[in-house]
Chain A
Amino acid sequence: MINRRFFLGSSLALSGTLAMPAVLRAQSGPIRLGTLTPLTGSGGAYGPVMASVVKRAAEEINKAGGVNGRELLILSEDDQTNPEAGLRAARKLIDVDKVAAIIGTWASSVTTAVAPVAWESGTFLTTVSGADSITLLPHRGFLVRTQPNTTLQGRKFGEFALESGAKNVTFLSPQTPFTDSQYAEITKVVTAAGGKTTKLVYDDKKTTLRTEVDSVLRGKPDAIIMGGYATDTAILVRDLYRASYRGKLIGFGYAVNKQLVEALPPDVSEGILTLSPSAAAGSNGYAHVARLAGMETPDTYSCQVYDQISLVAMALGLGRGDTGTVIRDNIRKVSQGGGERVDTAVDGLKLIAAGRKVDYDGASGPCDFTETGDVTDAKFRYEQVRGGKITLIKIA
């Protein structure tokens, strides 16, 4: 959440800059960047930490002299995990705050709503959303994501279900921008191995999913892949338990998270398998984010937004500017293509100022992007709930 002192401070700084003559404003004063994360709603468990990691990373950069001598000013908004609220907040960041980049949109539905206003206004958007459709938008290069797309995630889900011994797999999910692409990919993998799949889309606002569970269990699945977020997944898991379902349950790491496991009795959550894109645990960048976030094992989204602010800062440093276009034109020059390996923006900016080429490898992974803005490589974290605790099986 935005604290009052920060809000006052940034408002003062903002009104100060607005009072300057226009020409001066373009050349000096802080470089404004926005975070748009879910401080409330289904993503509320992640958004606040994400926003604070970005803010702390910017403070570090500012302490080390800023970007080409200019401070970074971070303005935080809440997308409420809701496309309509997200779009309103994005408009405020773009039209009122005039940010060069928006960092951290989380839900795919929010990113899909926000992306067009970002690229139309020349604002750079960095996101942790996974839906395939996002990088297929005509974004003219104004978008990158650090999260592997859902085609890749769907394939991993299918393989994970097969690995756990399942042949009859059901996909139970609310309607999200990735429901269809994910199901298609799961089906491809499972049918190739001689299994079969079915799908049921439910309404995630329902307070009970008994009828949906009944209808799915009539097909006698031996694995159910859950595509929802934490709140509806909690209801689903409870209703599956009540219905005495004893097959495998596989969910997204962001849905079957610590909060969900704590909200369920241990025998209900026992054995649920989860899969999530993995941060580069063990890397310097990861340890750095752990310090910034004040937690031992920061989640992948905090790591991803740390990489995003770092890349944005270095791209601005290299392009010697303060606009989204500068970020677009330079981000791949600092993220990939060889050069000195760096894992913080502070180191990277120093090397850039000395005229050297850098290649950023961050807390979430190598951060190399395709033409369309997808990450080229990602690792996944496989976990299982055992005795009320989420236990790591493997990272692969």
Chain B
Amino acid sequence: MEALLQTLVNGLVAGSLLAVPALGFSAIFAVLRFPNFAIGALATAGAYGAWLANVGLGAPIPVAVAIGFVVAGLAGVAVEFAALDRLGRAGHLMKAIGSLAVGMVLENVIRFAFGNDLKAFDLPLARDIVFGPVRIGPQQLASVGFALAAMAAFWAFLSLTSLGRSMRAVADNPNLARLKGVDPTVVALVTVFLGAGLCGVGGTLIGLDASLDPLTGGRILLSVFAAAVVGGLGSIPGAVVGAFLIGITEEMSSLALAPAYRLAVSFAVIFLVLSFRPAGLLGRAVR
């Protein structure tokens, strides 16, 4: 029982860290209609930006997280308009494949600039706080806080600003949105900036929790993808629900199965969910 409770807490923490990049991934999918597989490398780019700000310039962690957001967002916009946009003329599949390639290039650019060594944020490591049967780290609590704040800010942007409403309009029906005078280029640009920025926040939070190397973002790519698919590709609340589901299942499974089967468990969850709900938990049927 004790183990179950602790694992649930670990799963919730893992889920909240996964939710931020999953949100970014799903937002990009909703508006631009392709899975952007460069998000792993974008998350890494954001994390390195945050690390530079923190270790190089002595910025406090909240500022570093914000810088991680901006760096990844700008990198995402650059990638979209330098490479992916052109490929998009050949169809969404080409764009998805292109994003995979751009991700690899970006990862190696980071490797070239920073080397392969592990990097750590300038942050003391604290022992966990114990609440009865459950323990949790102060840094994890802070990370969950950052994750929730990022999600709340994104939600507020979508529902309270006119740009956010335009984004949702394009996601709902691009043709109708265009008829209503929404500029698709501006919406695409904003979406990519915010989506990639959220991935950067996710990468930074993982870097804070563990340590940083050029593969940091690449390691979570499959789980992020799994979370977005389970939740329903393109569905914003779906991405969050999916991330928690994947995070908790991956941790829970290690109680029963050898931990090496973690990824297999995520894919079993995808298989089960999609068997009964082909569009994902909160997704709509593809038209």
Contacts and interface: CB of A to CB of B under 8 A. Distances in A.
Nearest to A81: B116
A44 B116 contact: yes
A81 B68 CA distance: 28
Interface in B180-218: 206, 209-211, 213-216
A234 B125 contact: no
B219 interface: yes
B128 A202 contact: no
B10 A205 contact: no
B210 A214 contact: no
Contact of B254 (A215, A218, A234): A215
A3 interface: no
A104 to B, nearest CB: 17
B142 interface: no
A263 B11 CA distance: 26
Interface in A258-276: 259-260, 262-265, 267-268
Nearest to B138: A242
B260 interface: yes
Contact of A207 (B11, B128, B210, B259): B210
A83 B177 CA distance: 49
Contacts of A208: 10, 13-14, 209-210
Interface in A74-107: none
Contacts of B209: 207-208
A211 interface: yes
B258 interface: yes
A259 B127 CA distance: 22
Contacts of B3: 214-215, 218
A175 B124 CA distance: 31
A251 to B, nearest CB: 14
By secondary structure, the A interface counts as helix
Contact of B7 (A41, A211, A234, A267): A211
A265 B124 contact: yes
A238 B7 contact: no
B10 A211 contact: yes
State which size class the interface on A falls in: 35 or more
A201 B258 contact: yes
A203 interface: yes
Interface in B207-238: 209-211, 213-216, 219-220
B259 A242 contact: no
Interface string B249-283: 00100110011111100000000000000000000
A263 B259 contact: no
Interface string A167-181: 000000011000000
A263 B120 contact: yes
Given A242-B128, A265-B124, A203 B210 contact: no
B125 A265 contact: yes
B58 interface: no
Contacts of A231: 118, 211, 213, 215
Contacts of B120: 262-265
Contacts of B125: 238, 241-242, 264-265, 267-268
A211 B135 CA distance: 11
B263 A205 contact: yes
A212 interface: yes
Contact of A212 (B115, B126, B259): B259
Contacts of A218: 3
Contacts of A234: 118, 210-211
Contacts of B178: none
B7 A214 contact: yes
B128 A263 contact: no
Contacts of B124: 265
A235 interface: yes
A140 B125 CA distance: 51
Contacts of A259: 117-118
B262 A243 contact: no
A218 B4 CA distance: 13
Interface string A287-301: 000000000000000
Given A212-B254, A238-B211, A203 B10 contact: no
Interface string B126-161: 111000000101000000000000000000000000
Most buried by B among A214, A238, A259: A214
Interface in B1-58: 3, 6-7, 10-11, 13-14, 17
B119 interface: yes
A128 interface: no
A5 interface: no
B86 interface: no
Contacts of A205: 219, 262-263
Contacts of A214: 3, 6-7, 10
Question: Across chains A and B, which 10 residue pairs bring their CB atoms closest together, nearest first?
Answer: A44-B116, A263-B118, A263-B120, A259-B117, A202-B259, A235-B210, A203-B262, A210-B10, A242-B128, A211-B251
Given A200-B259, A208-B210, A242-B126, 15 more contacts: A174-B260, A206-B219, A208-B209, A211-B10, A211-B11, A212-B259, A214-B7, A215-B255, A230-B118, A234-B210, A234-B211, A238-B210, A242-B125, A244-B127, A265-B120
Interface of A: 40-41, 44-45, 174-175, 200-203, 205-208, 210-212, 214-215, 218, 230-231, 234-235, 238, 241-244, 259-260, 262-265, 267-268
